[in-house]
Structure 1
């Protein structure tokens, strides 16, 4: 471990050195991020998954940066050009781009105007010009004429090319110009010559400019996409005169010499031909990286909130996948996720079997005692909602409800190998209806089957680095799965692959063991039966639950390594494992002194605190703390709305410029960032998250465009 890097991480991430050292050591020993976050709190100081990942990423970057510094020092030293000052400058560089700037003059160069001039023997002339001596440059240039340099003007021009490259290769000048462009440059976009923007997707960018320093990530990605599609032309302008003046002050030693005008010309050439094009590329690359990081963070946060939507347990669901010509597919799914019935109805164009379709729905309500209809939000969704609402109002035996769920990714899953294996005899559309039903019953278990990028809660996710996006979303899903835990007897391969420490081999062994033995009755079966190796068992078992097994502790997130401590604690206060979760035990545990029992049981306070939580609520699902979907029985039309009207809605997506809220219309309504709160916020995620149930107010209704704008600020609240 490198102490300098650890000190830097500690300072930048505001984390204690001891915690960082512990994290790096635990990772090196092969422990997973979820395992460290949950079961090694005493070593890390209770760092969470995000902090552990940040430490690891920061350390890896700094190690790679140090390696590059050492390589650059070696390469320059091999040329015999390394000085103590140069070495010191390289070691002080805090970014890779700064190291590359320093190394730039020493790199093997491709053929350039300057390298050709050097080859033609003009480097000494360039040095004489840069000395700013009061000499006759033209006369001196005559002595440099040869077969390749035929005139004095050619000699001076060649020497100027060399000077221009020297200026361009100067690390401090590049750093200054990069900083100037990043802080004071202006990014411009316009409609590309000959291009058309028929859909007006980029209308606001047809003649647009903004300071580089202030441009928002979503605008950067929009500009990049428009440029990539050949609709926009984009560039960054800097204050050329100011920067050229800066370079002249740095380089012109004596204005009265002949050299002055030559060097001024070389400065302009260097700036326009060599420096600005490459610096602009670097600044735009930086903007893209920042924008991608922001987009990935927003996507990850939205995904996390979506897949942690509370499951609607113990309900009979009718999944409804809307369509026109091919008919609406229906799937009755039991509380245990078994598929009991598959049907198809044709209420819409071109069939128009409205009454017949309603009868099918009401018959299914009665036969299967349906609690909720889960309607996909795709094509024909609102017409289907009307059908369901009518059927519910006419059905008097039970108060059936319905909910609109996002069907994003359902078709991707339905056509996947996994879906084909699960339902080989069903068509893609019928599998979609099952997925739509199960998304309501257990969003986490169903959504892990789908490529996260297809779930539809991102912003420009197709414009960002795919590898980084995949890694980030995998991390989010893994964090969620391990925080919730899985039922080892019912968990699918799709969800087991996210469990800490499990590999494909170990998952296959668990599935094989289940199939052979019917069920797993205790956690220790997996290690005793050699299903899992001791290391895999250690890393994974705390995140897998055995419900109704031989040991109540197997239903909790208590790790088997702490069972002895948990049993000793129960014994000490006069209870047994049979009392876990009972009210009397809960009251007794509430009165425990953590410091006292930590010493008494020889365990750290973090572990003891987690044990106590599990003994009080063995089957607690922390997703229950989140808001459940809004169930409805009647439909809302845009014509029903009035400005200022108060509504309840569900946040479907959070983006840089606001949030989209489902209030029951065909399209989600936008709450602009300025209408989320009356306080200043940098990002909508400070106020709302995907899945939140919000009270909102109709701000504006555009009937022509079928568009509604909302506000979360109560118009009736008067500021003092």
Structure 2
């Protein structure tokens, strides 16, 4: 497959033009990052977005590897002197690695098999006779002449068995047969799971006697069954109608299947084909389930990262616990840690009065607006305590439950130790909880994305693939928002397009040694930040109150001259950016005719005008603010039909988990998300959404709440249950 064919194939698969694929591949090969291409090379790619660009990049790399494997397989078969024009053509026309491997299978070097031993005994001619005879009798008669004790053929039956072994292996290695069996198993196979110990109580009980069509099984159930099998709780296999497979395999022979060929077909399938095809189909199921799990994690992670920051607020962060006490940290409106400590309002100490006095003293000492409570162990008790305390505060104070997933990972990390060398891990965690409210993106980038708690079976998928995918999401979110180069941490800077961890540290070091950056070109002085890196990163770097007002916008310096010509056409000065007069004139611009006059692409000019209309804008500010609470909600307070407001914390295949102020999030099952049919919960809700929900059912014993986004009437209590 030459490059043009690759571009055409990718274009068909991704529903874009071959010229767009070609441009995208060229830009990637030139060393440009995906965020840079998506934002600043729209004219070349025809405005492909990041998702399309990543799909093209991934597919191009796959096809490149496929081409390399084809060349290698052709070489290996040719070295055996067995390459034919027909085989070469079949290999070259393959579009999947599996097809190439199927074609190579008969030529792959093998350890000793029953078939190879039979060939060494000289039984190949008997195998040919067996495959070409329409009756069993001539084969049986011929078998006597192959009896040879010196060669290890002790009887006619042994000769016949050897001949059947040869044919069984040849049948199992036929690429077309393997493809047909694989597809048949996928379409008609049933995955069946049984308990190894039916009396054992485990989380896998629904799979103790379970079956479901292979091609219909949803990803979360595939991963659950896999885990049950891995933990040796379940026995899992794929069952198919073998008789139909036998009929298809028998047609491989040029003659009607006599008794010996019938044995060949059954042995070939059961001993050689079925085990490997089952492994391949299970692997395919797992791969698709993993892709879906990773997709869900990625799609949940982006809105989590892009939660609106709570600006200008001093926050008291609280990391709940029992025995070791609740660690707290006061963080000012810039994220600077002012004071840390510990209180013991929870069991076993239950020093409630002392803890209350300490929190009230902090509220008097600092202008704390919000208390951020982690949602981990002892969260419910801590929330009840805080809700009681703030009733006695001298001014309105609110609290919010913050998802603390990953806070403990961060607090024990090298980054946290460098940031707070004098604090223990728990106190660092309290600081992190407070900062997550103030600027979720800046804080969450310090944590391994796998640990932020918005996934589904994330520990059961390829960790390499998951890590790559989540890194792309974080990179995309950081570059979408932009980074203040004078306040950003090395962790945040390292996700900027083109910036490595080393360069990120060098930027901070230069800032500490020389002082704040006053213009974008100052970054050229940072060690190891070369011309290519500068080109890739600089549009995503922001300098507020700098020498050039354009440096606070996402406009790339390569387009500053275009802005100059635009302002000249409009009779404006750079100093007028952000003024009402400037905005009014920009709104009246005919983009297409102006782009022609300025010798500029229409997409680029659109982005420039958008940036100039809202200089210094943070796109996160347009999202709904987090819900603040002033009183606690208990499970006992709930009744069916009760309406509440909550925050979507996680979206999975089967629904969405919503924080309504309880210790555990309530589940809105996919069937209760909307009155219309919902195929994918993410079509209805995303992480961070503020939603109205109704209590659908309450399980006090298991501390579970079923919620509905479809109104539930209290009088329907029994019917709903």
Give yes or no for TM over 0.5: yes
State the alpha-carbon separation in 1 of the partners of residues 97 and 679 from structure 2: 29
5+ unaligned residues in a row in structure 1: which ranges?
A: none
> Does the alignment pair 1:616 with 2:622?
no
Any idea what the Cα deviations from partners look like across 1:201-257, whole Å, max 9, x if unmatched?
A: 1010111100001000011110111111111111101111111122224436136xx
Per-residue deviation, 1:89: 1.9
In structure 2, what is the equivalent of residue 222 of structure 1?
224
In structure 1, what is the equivalent of residue 336 of structure 2?
338
Are the aligned partners of 2:695 and 2:712 in contact in 1 as well (CA < 8 Å)? Answer: no
In angstroms, what is the RMSD of aligned CA positions?
Answer: 1.6
Per-residue deviation, 1:524: 0.8
Tell me the SS of whatever aligns to 1:682: coil
State the alpha-carbon separation in 2 of the partners of residues 346 and 663 from structure 1: 26
Seen in structure 2, the aligned counterparts of structure 1 residues 250 and 529 have a Cα distance that, compared at 3 Å, is closer
In structure 2, what is the equivalent of residue 11 of structure 1?
12
Structure 1 outlier segments of 4+, above 4 Å: 528-531
Alignment map for 1:114-153 (pairs within 5 Å): 114-133=115-134, 136-146=138-148, 147=150, 148-153=152-157
In structure 2, what is the equivalent of residue 392 of structure 1?
390
Are the aligned partners of 1:10 and 1:17 in contact in 2 as well (CA < 8 Å)? Answer: yes
Query: Which moves more between the two structures, 244-253 or 452-461?
Result: 244-253
Query: Which moves more between the two structures, 577-586 or 288-297?
Result: 577-586
Tell me the SS of whatever aligns to 1:73: helix
In structure 1, what is the equivalent of residue 176 of structure 2?
172
State the alpha-carbon separation in 2 of the partners of residues 111 and 530 from structure 1: 59
Any idea what the Cα deviations from partners look like across 1:570-600, whole Å, max 9, x if unmatched?
A: 2321221221112221121111000111011
Per-residue deviation, 1:196: 6.6
Alignment map for 1:619-630 (pairs within 5 Å): 619-630=616-627
Seen in structure 2, the aligned counterparts of structure 1 residues 191 and 588 have a Cα distance that, compared at 3 Å, is same
Per-residue deviation, 1:528: 5.5
Tell me the SS of whatever aligns to 1:708: strand
State the alpha-carbon separation in 1 of the partners of residues 256 and 690 from structure 2: 71
In structure 2, what is the equivalent of residue 359 of structure 1?
357
One of 425, 428, 436 as aligned partner of 1:428: 425
State the alpha-carbon separation in 1 of the partners of residues 200 and 680 from structure 2: 29
One of 569, 583, 587 as aligned partner of 1:590: 587
What TM-score comes out, normalization by structure 2 length?
Answer: 0.96
State the alpha-carbon separation in 2 of the partners of residues 136 and 566 from structure 1: 90
State the alpha-carbon separation in 2 of the partners of residues 420 and 216 from structure 1: 42
State the alpha-carbon separation in 1 of the partners of residues 246 and 526 from structure 2: 75
Seen in structure 2, the aligned counterparts of structure 1 residues 585 and 220 have a Cα distance that, compared at 3 Å, is same
State the alpha-carbon separation in 2 of the partners of residues 556 and 647 from structure 1: 40
In structure 1, what is the equivalent of residue 299 of structure 2?
301
Per-residue deviation, 1:683: 1.8
Alignment map for 1:269-668 (pairs within 5 Å): 269-395=267-393, 397-527=394-524, 532-668=529-665
State the alpha-carbon separation in 2 of the partners of residues 627 and 205 from structure 1: 41
State the alpha-carbon separation in 2 of the partners of residues 241 and 489 from structure 1: 71
Alignment map for 1:234-245 (pairs within 5 Å): 234-245=236-247
In structure 2, what is the equivalent of residue 74 of structure 1?
75
Per-residue deviation, 1:489: 0.9
Are the aligned partners of 2:164 and 2:264 in contact in 1 as well (CA < 8 Å)? Answer: yes
One of 159, 162, 179 as aligned partner of 1:158: 162
Per-residue deviation, 1:531: 6.4
Per-residue deviation, 1:406: 0.7
Tell me the SS of whatever aligns to 1:490: coil
Per-residue deviation, 1:293: 0.6
Any idea what the Cα deviations from partners look like across 1:9-46, whole Å, max 9, x if unmatched?
A: 11110011121111111111111111111111111111
Per-residue deviation, 1:512: 2.3
Are the aligned partners of 1:513 and 1:531 in contact in 2 as well (CA < 8 Å)? Answer: no
Per-residue deviation, 1:73: 2.1
Tell me the SS of whatever aligns to 2:110: coil
Seen in structure 2, the aligned counterparts of structure 1 residues 90 and 451 have a Cα distance that, compared at 3 Å, is same
Per-residue deviation, 1:171: 1.1
Are the aligned partners of 1:117 and 1:123 in contact in 2 as well (CA < 8 Å)? Answer: yes
Are the aligned partners of 2:144 and 2:156 in contact in 1 as well (CA < 8 Å)? Answer: yes
State the alpha-carbon separation in 2 of the partners of residues 429 and 714 from structure 1: 42
Query: Which moves more between the two structures, 125-134 or 441-450?
Result: 125-134
Per-residue deviation, 1:548: 1.3
State the alpha-carbon separation in 2 of the partners of residues 448 and 119 from structure 1: 63
State the alpha-carbon separation in 2 of the partners of residues 507 and 662 from structure 1: 36
Per-residue deviation, 1:288: 0.6
Aligned length: 711
Tell me the SS of whatever aligns to 2:656: strand
State the alpha-carbon separation in 1 of the partners of residues 323 and 274 from structure 2: 57
One of 246, 252, 255 as aligned partner of 1:253: 255
Tell me the SS of whatever aligns to 1:371: strand
Are the aligned partners of 1:196 and 1:231 in contact in 2 as well (CA < 8 Å)? Answer: no
State the alpha-carbon separation in 1 of the partners of residues 342 and 108 from structure 2: 69
Query: Which moves more between the two structures, 441-450 or 386-395?
Result: 386-395
Tell me the SS of whatever aligns to 2:368: coil
Per-residue deviation, 1:80: 2.7
Any idea what the Cα deviations from partners look like across 1:315-346, whole Å, max 9, x if unmatched?
A: 11010111112111111111111111112111
5+ unaligned residues in a row in structure 2: which ranges?
A: 717-721
Per-residue deviation, 1:547: 1.3
State the alpha-carbon separation in 2 of the partners of residues 141 and 403 from structure 1: 84
Tell me the SS of whatever aligns to 1:251: coil
Query: Which moves more between the two structures, 117-126 or 525-534?
Result: 525-534
Are the aligned partners of 1:252 and 1:263 in contact in 2 as well (CA < 8 Å)? Answer: no
